[in-house]
Chains A and B, each alone.
Chain A
Amino acid sequence: MVRHLKRSYIYLIFAFLYMPIAVLMVYSFNDARSRGMWGGFTLRWYVELFQDRTIMHSLYATLIIGASSAVLATIIGTMAAIGIHNSKGPAKKVIMNVTYLPVLNPEIVTAISLMLLFVFTRVRFGYLTLLLSHISFNVPYVILSVLPKLRQLNKHLYEAALDLGCTPLQALWKVIIPEIMPGIVTGLLLAFTLSIDDFVISFFTTGSGVSTLSITVYSMARRGINPKINALSTIMFTFVLALLIVVNVRQAREERKERNGKRAPKKDSPYDPKFGSA
C-alpha cells in the first residue's frame, strides 16, 4: 500500500515533467488553427520548419558553434586538468577557485562580463565572440570531468611509461591520454550539450545577424506560439534522447569494467545534475 502511494507520487512528478513535452509533441502534428482543438494529423509544420531559412541558419550556427567550441574546450580543458593535477599548494587552490568561478556565477553575470570584455577589446560581435564565449563556459566542465579520472590513475603510471623508454611527451600521449579517455569523452559530450542548450550567454555575446537556435526560439516565442517551434522541439527532444542513451550505455559499460577490475570506487567525481543518473 505504502509502496503504491510512493510510486504514485513519483508518477505524478513524472507527469508534471513530461506533460509539457508531450503536449508540444502532439501539437506538432496538429493541423488545427485553434491550438485547443485537434484538427487532424499533419506534417505541415515539419515541412515549414525545414523551409524556414532563419531557423535553418540558426540550427547550422548552433551545430557549428557547439561542435567547434566543444572540441576546443576539450583540448584546452584536458591540458589544463593535467596541469592542475600536477601542480601543488596555494597556486593549485587559486587556479581551481578561478576555474569554479564561471560554474558558480549566475549565467547572466558571466554573460555580461564577457560582453564587456568584447566591447572593451573592440572585437566585432558575431561568430568569433560566440565561439570564444562558449569555449570559456565549457572549459570548466571539461576540467571537472577529466580531473577525477586523473585522480583515479595509479600515480606511478606516468613514471612507468618513462621507465619503459617514453619521453615525457610520449608518456602523455601514449599512456595518460588513453587512460583518461572516458573522462575526456564525457567532457566533450557535456560541452557539446551545454553549448547547444545555452541561451543566456549566447544572447549577450552574439551579433551581426548570427543567431543560435535558442535565440531564434526566444524571439519567436516572445511573439506568441508558433507550431514550427513544436516541430523543432520534437526533433530536438528525440535527438537529445538518443544522445543521452548513448552516453548512459557508455557509462554503464565503463562502470562495469571498473567493477570487474576491482579498482577503487569513483571518488570526487564532479557532481553534475545532468549526469547524476549514472
Chain B
Amino acid sequence: MKSSANSAVATLRRWRGLMGLALRLAVRSRQVACLVVLVVFACVVVPLFIGGDGTPDGLMRTILRYALTLTGWILGFAALVMGSLSISREREDRPLQLLAVRPVRAWELWLGKWLALMALNGVLLLLAAALMCASLGLRLWHMPATDRAQGLAALTCRQALKPLPFQAGDPALIRKMDEIRHAGLITRPVDAAVMEKDARFHLGEELLVVEPGATRQWTFALPDDMAPAADALMLHMKFSIPGRSQQTVSGLWTFQLPSGSDKLEMPMARRAAGVLLLPLAVPDIRKVKTLVIRFVNGDAAHSTTFILDQTQGVELRVRESGFVRNLLKGLLLQWSKLAVLAALGVTLGACFSSPVAVFAALGLVVAFSLAGFFTMESPIHDDGDLHDHSDPSPHWTVRVGRVLGKPVAWVVAPVQKIDVVEAVATGERIGTRDAVSGFFLLATGYPLVLGWIGGRVLRRREPATGVD
C-alpha cells in the first residue's frame, strides 16, 4: 500500500515536472508574451474601433463577436502551432534524448506538453473574459443614458424559445400540402413525410410576414426552471431590415394563457428597427406551461408590412442565468475545443518533423471543418426543397468522397455542435449540461485517443535519428 502511494506521488511529481518544463520554456521563449499581447489586441484594442450596426445592443453583440472570434482564432492557432513544435523541436534539437533515457514513459512526455498547453489556454481565456467585460463596460459607460438600457439588455442570458412547430393533422399544414401538390412544383415522386416537411417550411416563411390587417399566432412551451424575476419573459422580435431603417409596427398583441380566460392585451403603435424587446409581466408565470401569442396588424393605412428576420423572427426569451455565467460556460466549451486542438498538435508533433507537423495540423483542422460540406446529401433530403439542383447521378469520386467524409463529419460533429460565439453574443443560454458534457467529451475523450496515438508513435520512433 505504502509503495503504491509512493509510486503515485512520484508519478504526479513527474507529470508536474514535465508540465512545468513546457510552461517555463513557453514563457522564456516569449511565446506567452506574444499571446498575451494578441489577446489584449483582440479584446481591448479592436473593440475600441468597432462601430456596430447603429443600435446599442447591436454594438455590444458585435464587440462580443469580434473579441470571441479573434480570441478563438488566436488561441486555436497557437494551440496547434505550439503543440506541434513542442515535441518535434525537442526531438530535432536533441533534449528529448536526455528525457528519453529517464524513467519517463512516452505518453507521459505527451501528457506534460498537453497539460502545459491546457493550463496556458485556461489562464489566457480567463484573461480574455476579464478584458472583454472591461471593454464592454467601457463602451456602456460612454453610451448616452437612453441607450444604456438597451445595451445592457444585450448582456443578459436568455434561453431562446422558438414557437412550437405545426402538429401533424393541423388544418393549416394540410392546406399548404394541398397547395404545393396542385401548384405543380414537384419534379419527382416524393413520400408524405417529405411533402409535410416542405409544407412546414413554407408555413414558417409565411409567419414572418404580417400584412396590414392580417393575424398571426405563435405557441410557446415554457420550461420548468424559469427564474422568478420581473423580466423573466421577454418577447424578442428581430426585423429583417438592418441598421437605422425602421418598420411600422402597429396593432394588438394578445398573450393568452392555456386556461382561456386569462388574457393579456398590449396595443402597440410605433416604428421599430433591428431588435424589439417586449417584457411580459405574466402573473404566476412559473405555473404556466404554454403561452399563445397573437398579433393583429392594425396598420391598414400603410403599404409596408411587418417583416421579421428569417433566422430569429419571433422568439420568447426566458431569463435563466446571468451573462457572466453564460460567458464562462462558453469559455469552458472554448477551452475544451482548444484541448482537442492542442492534443492534435502534440500528437502530430510526435509523428512528424516540426514544419510538417504544423502544416499537417492546420491542414487537418481545415479539412475536418469542411467535411460536413462534402458529405451533404442532395437538397431533397436537407431542406425539403423539392427542386433538384444537383446531378441526379453523381460521379463515383463524389460518392467516394461522401462515404469517406461521413465518419470524419461524425467525429467533428461534437466539436462543432455549439457555436459559442453566437450563443454568447446573442444572449442565448448555453445549457450547463451541454457545457459540462461537452467539456468531458472534448477535453478528455478526444485527447485520450490522440494521446494514445502520440504515445505509441513516440515509443516507436528513434529520437536519435533526428529530423525525418
Are these two chains actual partners, yes or no?
no
